[in-house]
Amino acid sequence: MPLGLKADWNDCLQFGNDGESVFVAMQLRLALKEYAEIAGLLGEDGEERWGKRELKELDENLQEHAWDGQWFTRGYRVDGMKFGSSESPEGRIFLNPQAWSVISGAATPEQARSAMDQVKQQLATSSGIKVCAPPYTASDYHIVRAMLMNPGLKENGGIFIHTQGWAVMAEAMLGNGEQAYEYLRAYLPAAYNTRAEVREIEPYVVCQSTHAEQSPKQGVSRIPWLSGSAAWTYFAICHHILGIRPEYDGITIDPCIPGSWEGFTVSRRFRDRTLHVRVNNPGGVQRGVRRVTVNGREQQDSFIPADLLSSTTEIEVVMG
């Protein structure tokens, strides 16, 4: 699996030069899958074979070394120390590999459900999902720099906003619209419009992190305007909750929403075309598309080929 080196995404985890990151391995898995698919579309048969071969080997390694029984580990030091394992007295579970096991397709259906169930049980709070649990209080700070932070703050069991969109995406990919929206609302700035004294940041901007329940400042957020959180939040809402996803040769509309939503409308620019999308949910389902019409013409499924899209396209989706 990919080496962790000084750090991967989490600067506080000291993998060592030869330690390995499960989280980055899952990102690599998605990259290999996309690479092989693109190579196939371009007729690059040799590159496609290479990508699929590397993907198969990585999948085998992930299944053999990263599954911990109920969730995925976070990574390994070369000395054998595990991050994010049931064997770990602190930092027993991390959010990122659980969400990315679903996003990347590394998890089996049973593993995906188990991993995300453990996220809800061990990491989810009313203010967002913690980056790990339990916090570090006795570990060697040369190995886990998070020890230098108070419990519930930033990398030491705090709520990193950058990662929240990944959890929203994972639950939506599993068809759980209620849970995806609950996770979104827990950290969405606009959800705190009438509770500014809790969040303590502007209600129109995401931030870097929020204090978790181990902190006396639970719910307080810090470092707005300096985060990749906004892009992932936008992506999670548009591509996975609203379900409007660009494809290489068209666009898919496959919403995953709370069952209480009667529907929604969206206008979107897509490859120099304007799409007006109306989604109706008469049966109160969370996911599932029963019928799609494009400019009055019924489609077989939720994928719409690009050649059916006119300069202004009216799309109606009925869930069920």
Please name which of 245, 169, 236 lies closest in space to residue 206, comparing C-alpha atoms. Answer: 236
DSSP string over 137-204 = SSS-TTTBGGGGS-TTBTTBT-EEGGGHHHHHHHHHHTT-HHHHHHHHHHH-GGGGTT-HHHH-S-TT
Point out the catalytic residue in the list 11, 18, 249, 301: 11
Strand locations in the chain (E):
3-5, 16-21, 75-76, 82-83, 93-94, 124-125, 128-129, 132-133, 159-160, 207-210, 221-224, 244-247, 250-253, 263-270, 273-280, 289-294, 297-299, 303-305, 312-319
What percentage of the chain's residues is helix, strand, coil (to nearest 5)?
A: 35, 25, 40
Contact present, 205 and 229 (Cβ < 8 Å): no
- Cα torsion 94, 96, 102, 106 to 10°: value is -90
Q: Scan for tokens 């990102």, then name that residue.
A: 27
Report how far residue 25's alpha carbon sits from residue 278's, in angstroms, rounded to the nearest whole number.
38
Strand partners, 287: 256
Query: Do the Cβ atoms of 302 and 317 come closer than 8 Å?
Result: yes
Residue 254 is given by DSSP the state -
Active site residue 249: no
Q: Which residues are tagged catalytic? A: 11
